[in-house]
Amino acid sequence: MSAGRRYGDVLILSATGGRRLAVACDSLGGIGPKPGDSVGVPGYVVGRFCSRVPLMELLALEAEPLAVCCCLCVEPEPSGRDIMAGVLDELRAAGLDRTVALTGSTEKNVATSQTGVGITVVATVGRPRWDRARAGDVVLVVGEPKVGKAVSLESPAVADIPTLRLALGHPASGDVAPVGSRGIAAEARKTSPPARGWS
C-alpha cells in the first residue's frame, strides 16, 4: 500500500489489485452534554454532525464508505450511547446503515467532564471525482455557514447528505466540495489535487 495522496481532507491510498482506499475524519471537543462543554447540545446531535463531515467529504469524491470508527472520550452510558445513536441515524439518513460497518470505543476507566469525539470513515474509490472545475465556472453555494449553537438538525440552511447527492447527480455540476472550518472561499480557491492524472 502506498503512503497516500491528499485531496482536501481526504487521504487516498493505493492498494493491491488497482484498488484505492479513501479515508476521512473529523473531531470535536467541548461540544456536547457534559458539564465542562463550552457549547451544550445533546450527544445525539454530536453524533449526527461529527459523522456527517467525513461522510460528505468521501461521498463528494464518489467514494463508497465501508466502515465508520468512533473514538468517544466519554463514558459508555449515557453519553456514548447517545452519540452512537446519532451516528447510526446519520448513516440511515444517507442510506448507508445496511452497507457500512459501525464500530467504536468509549472511556471506561476514568470519569470525564467534557465531550471529546473523533470519527474516521474508510471507503473504497475508483477514479475519485475531482479536477472538473475550469476557469470561468460558476461557484454555487448550498446552505449557510454555521458554528456552535447555530448548528441545528432542524435548520434548512444546514447542508445534508441528500442535498449533496442532488448536487452530485446534476448534469451541470463539476467539483463538489463540502465546506469545512476554513470556509467557503478557501474551498473555492482550492487548486487541482496532487493526484491529478489518475485513471
| CATH number, domain with residue 99 | 3.30.1330.10
Helix axes 43-59, 81-93, angle to 10 degrees: 40
Q: Taking a C-beta distance cutoff of 8 angstroms, is the pair 151, 44 a contact?
A: no
> Which range marks the domain in which residue 136 is found?
5-188
62 occurs within a structural domain: yes
193 occurs within a structural domain: no
pLDDT tens digits for 55-70? 999 999 999 999 999 9
199 occurs within a structural domain: no
pLDDT of the residue at 41: 95
194 occurs within a structural domain: no
Q: Residue range 4-16: average pLDDT?
A: 84
Name the domain count of the chain: 1
Q: Residue range 16-22: average pLDDT?
A: 83
For the chain, give the percent of residues with pLDDT over 70. 93
Whether 182 has a pLDDT exceeding 60, the answer reads yes
Single-letter amino acid, residue 152: S
195 occurs within a structural domain: no
Q: Taking a C-beta distance cutoff of 8 angstroms, is the pair 90, 55 a contact?
A: yes
Q: Residue range 33-44: average pLDDT?
A: 96
pTM of the full predicted structure? 0.88
117 occurs within a structural domain: yes
148 occurs within a structural domain: yes
46 occurs within a structural domain: yes
Maximum separation of any 2 CA atoms in the chain, in Å: 56
Grid cell of 55 as nine digits: 461522510
Q: Residue range 160-189: average pLDDT?
A: 84
Whether 83 has a pLDDT exceeding 50, the answer reads yes
